[in-house]
């Protein structure tokens, strides 16, 4: 059984190498970004933001490629737009610019061979790892505040969450060649991140007397913006720390291929 497995693996590798089409692919993308978290805990695109980036790939063969990208996107959410009564009365909001570097492996379901008459399109999946910077802000009385600086959930000075974090990326899409060297790709990728503070909301309302002493009255106003009595109470749930946040890019990219084109196979007579 082991010998048969080894033979199958060797034959599979040989097949991929025989159909190899190695080469670099470079381009850019534009699209939209949105987030999922304590201020948007359902699947909706209520507050999409502008997004874009630069993309590079190295194609090992017609199925597998390594890729890396520098990406930017704005994410935001506003409780006032929620269908949930508690969230509307909680009345929190934020926006943040995401600057992201992502690397991963892309796998084509079909062979993708540039220069081919038929193998010019394929669905694909991608998975990888992201490192990103974020900095949630909000507007109050016409002024913009960087929420991290105000410890809205009672963080001591020096114990605020980090604005550089990481996450796991997964996604998929569909690509098709518009020429021998140019490929158009529609793609959906999401990052499940290792922080719950993309939106500055995670745990419970703090001790407001202590927060006033440490951070000032502005911190209290930013922490508790509730519209009704009884919501912004010390120890009451402000967010859900059991579930991490995520952000997503939906994109359309154009890349140029710099590798070797496959020569047409000679028909057998």
The CATH code of the domain that includes 181 is 2.40.160.20
Residue 2 domain flag: no
List all residues 6 or more positions away from 159 whose beta carbon is below 8 Å from its beta carbon. Answer: none
Residue 224 domain flag: yes
Per-residue confidence band for 261, with pLDDT thresholds at 50, 70 and 90? low
Residue 50 half-sphere exposure, CB side, CA atoms within 13 Å? 0
Residue 121 domain flag: no
For residue 18, the model assigns a pLDDT of 41
Residue 120 domain flag: no
Residue 243 domain flag: yes
Judge if pTM exceeds 0.85. yes
β-sheet bridge partners, residue 142: none
Domain count, the chain: 1
Task: Using alpha carbons, list the distances in angstroms from residue 42 to 27, 49, 57, 188, 192.
Answer: 33, 17, 33, 17, 15
The answer to whether residue 8 scores a pLDDT higher than 50 is no
pLDDT in tens, 190-213: 999 999 999 999 999 999 999 999
For residue 197, the model assigns a pLDDT of 97
Task: Report the alpha-carbon distance of residue 240 to residue 232 in Å, rounded.
Answer: 15
Rounded to the nearest integer, the mean pLDDT of the chain is 89
The answer to whether residue 13 scores a pLDDT higher than 60 is no
Task: Using alpha carbons, list the distances in angstroms from residue 48 to 16, 74, 167, 260.
Answer: 40, 8, 20, 39
Range of the domain at 236: 21-115+126-257
List all residues 6 or more positions away from 120 whose beta carbon is below 8 Å from its beta carbon. Answer: 112, 113, 114, 176, 177
Residue 194 domain flag: yes
Residue 151 domain flag: yes
Q: Which residue has the higher pLDDT, 112 or 261?
A: 112
Please name the residue that has the structure tokens 């518009």. Answer: 178
Residue 71 domain flag: yes
């Amino acid at each position: 059984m082991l010998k048969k497995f080894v033979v199958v693996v060797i034959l599979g590798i040989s097949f991929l190498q025989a159909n190899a089409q190695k080469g670099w692919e470079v381009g850019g993308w534009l699209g939209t970004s949105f987030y999922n978290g304590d201020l948007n805990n359902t699947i909706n695109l209520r507050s999409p933001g502008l997004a874009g980036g630069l993309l590079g790939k190295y194609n090992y063969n017609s199925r597998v490629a390594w890729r890396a990208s520098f990406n930017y996107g704005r994410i935001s959410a506003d409780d006032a737009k929620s269908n949930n009564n508690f969230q509307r009365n909680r009345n929190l909001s934020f926006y943040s610019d995401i600057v992201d570097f992502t690397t991963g492996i892309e796998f084509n379901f079909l062979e993708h061979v540039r220069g081919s008459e038929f193998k010019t399109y394929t669905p694909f999946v991608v998975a990888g790892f992201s490192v990103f910077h974020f900095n949630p802000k909000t507007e109050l009385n016409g002024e913009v505040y960087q929420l991290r600086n105000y410890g809205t959930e009672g963080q001591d000075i020096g114990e605020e969450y980090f604005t550089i974090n990481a996450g796991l990326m997964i996604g998929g899409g569909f690509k098709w060649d518009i020429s021998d060297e140019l490929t158009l790709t529609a793609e959906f990728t999401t990052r499940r991140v290792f922080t719950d503070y993309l939106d500055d909301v995670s745990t419970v309302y703090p001790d407001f007397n202590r927060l006033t002493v440490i951070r000032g009255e502005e911190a209290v106003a930013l922490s508790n913006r509730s519209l009704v009595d009884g919501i912004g109470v010390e120890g009451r749930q402000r967010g859900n720390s059991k579930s991490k946040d995520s952000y997503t890019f939906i994109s359309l990219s154009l890349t140029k291929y710099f590798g070797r084109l496959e020569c047409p196979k000679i028909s057998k007579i």
